[in-house]
Amino acid sequence: MSVNLKINNIDVTVPEGSTILEAARSIDIDIPTLCYLKDINEVGSCRICVVEVKGMRALQASCVYPVSEGMEVFTNTKNVRDVRKINLELILSNHERKCLTCNRNKNCELQTLSNDLGVSEIRYEGENPHYNVDKLSASIVRDPNKCIICRRCVNVCKNIQTVSVIDANERGFKTIIGSAFNMPLAETPCTNCGQCIVVCPVGALREKEEIDTVWEALADPKKHVFVQTAPAVRVALGEEFDMPIGTRVTGKMASALKLMGFDGVFDTNTAADFTIMEEGTELLQRLENGGKLPLITSCSPGWVKFCEHNFPDFLDNLSTAKSPHEMFGAIMKSYYAEKQGIDPADIFVVSVMPCTAKKFESKREELSSTGYPDVDAVVTTRELGKMIKQSGIDFVKLPDGEFDAPFGIGSGAAAIFGTTGGVMEAALRTVADILTGEDIKQIEYNAVRGMKGIKEASLQIAGKKVRIAVVSGLGNARKLLDKIRAGEVQYEFIEIMGCPGGCVTGGGQPIVSSKIKMDIDVHAARAAAIYAEDESMEVRKSYKNPIVKKIYEDYFIEPCGHLSHKLLHTHYKQRENYY
């Protein structure tokens, strides 16, 4: 059914159940918002989006107020503008206004709104308590002094990810967002996914930066500093330089990294092909030898930690294969060090990732099979953008460069690791060929593509029935694993990514404002670029990667063999769940 109403004397027809905000946007009337975030936080708490509704004395929050037949709405009266400005000034009255040194300077929704609404002075100087900044997490820094209590982080953590480690403490003016008993995030079951960071409209949440660590390594003449970049980074990095969402900047990124002084600029896609070889072989062995099923992917560290806290009974189902960037680090400090005659102690591996959880992952003691950490530093896509700017590089004007040999060749299968369904599809491309003994030409598995949180399919491969599921977002992982626990569903192979939509919308990716998210499907735009990268590749199956084939022949001998198991596999542990 449709509803007819007037907004600023313009006739509007929208579906029943629409809000005033949605109705206004349907005719390109922009109502400012702050706490609102489509599908995540629709609570009307900040009162910035208020409008007048004819016949009602009080102004109404347009983000939550439903339309009705014959309603008349006014979005730009003097009263509306004055109240919005007063509400904003009250929010600013106890906000730490250190904008020039804030990590969100020039990309802050509060800052933008202050400019748009004409706030030129702070008329209400109230009590401004100071809180300690939580820096103990390996991945996330929380600064309550910049928090505006919009609750976006609370709702993404509680309702989307179902981790629920933060909420509103105290009441009224003393309200503060934090964990139970004000524990540091590091002492909670936080998965380090960083989804709280990408929904925060201000600088209250940020990644724990390792920029200075990388610059120090690059300045050390004794260090051989190698960098690798994940597939999702190349379809988002351009946004840090005002390029359209979903722009592929693979070549420019390689050029920038070389100008920054890295001794080798490599592609994590090469390591992703190793992951498929190891994980695919592990799946085949479990299918043929009666191993623990379903096999569940392990390349998402946020998902792995979530499993360790909440589903320890599934730890034996996890693939023991390391995530691609950790495999790369292990290969660099074993095979590459040996071939190049470099002491592994002098190798410094930097991972550029779309993921804040990779920072925590790199600190795990078990990921040091060579006697040294596989990865020494992890920087997010956002951090790389900052480093390029610090270097004085005009990124947009850079010519396209290439990755260095030998780890500059990746397959199309590796490229699609960056989006939900990509790991599953990449694995199936190799596993199907091995099972059938054929080079199967139809390699797009459309059943595992798309943004749906849980996707299921049943495939016949060489006479074997393989039931699969693809999950993105920890809340969806919880739903599926609860069903498996209850015996309601059965699978042989499951891909789980911790972030909704996969790595392309990871916690370390460029932050997109709530206003843009109303109009653009960020995941779809970045995922389309990922699939375009795959289609442009000459090699589109992992086992056909010539570098991967050579290293197995020269060094590892075979997937899941003795040496590869030592260097490329890991183990997990049950972690306490405090709640």
Torsion angle defined by CA atoms of residues 254, 257, 259 and 264, in that order, rounded to the nearest 10 degrees: -90
Residue 313 to residue 310: CA distance in whole angstroms: 9
Other C-beta atoms lying within 10 Å of the C-beta of residue 369: 20
Q: How many CA atoms lie within 13 A of 140 on its CB side?
A: 31
Write out the two tokens for 431: 């596993």
- For residue 406 the two structure tokens come to 């030998």
How many helices and strands, by DSSP H and E, does the chain display? 20, 17
For the chain, what is the largest distance between any 2 Cα atoms, rounded to a whole number of angstroms?
A: 81
Task: Catalogue the E-assigned strands of 260-342.
Answer: 264-267, 295-296
Cross-strand partners of 495: 470
Looking at 240-336, which runs of residues are DSSP E strands?
Answer: 264-267, 295-296
For 384, residues 6+ apart whose C-beta sits below 8 A from its C-beta are 229, 233, 237, 240, 253, 352
Cis peptide preceding 184, ω within 30 of 0: no
Q: Please give the single-letter amino acid code of residue 353.
A: M
Question: Backbone phi, then psi, for 568, in 5-degree steps?
Answer: -110, 5
Residues 321 and 336: their CA atoms lie apart, in Å, by 20
Q: Is the peptide bond before 294 cis (omega within 30 degrees of 0)?
A: yes
- If DSSP codes are grouped into helix, strand and coil, which group holds residue 328? helix
3-state SS class at 331: helix
- Which distant-in-sequence residues (6+ apart) come within 8 Å of 422 by Cβ? 415, 416, 502, 530
Using CA atoms, how far residue 427 sits from 71, 276, 323, in Å, is 54, 6, 14
Distance (Å, whole) CA 96 – CA 79: 28
How far from the centroid of its chain's Cα atoms is residue 435's Cα? 33
DSSP single-letter state for residue 16:
T
**Active site amino acids:** 279, 282, 299, 319, 358, 361, 366, 503
User: Count of CB atoms within 10 A of residue 211's CB?
Assistant: 15
Q: Of 444, 432, 461, 448, which Cα lies nearest the Cα of 540?
A: 444
DSSP symbols for 159-199: IIS-----EEES-GGG-EEE-GGG--GGGTT-----HHHHH
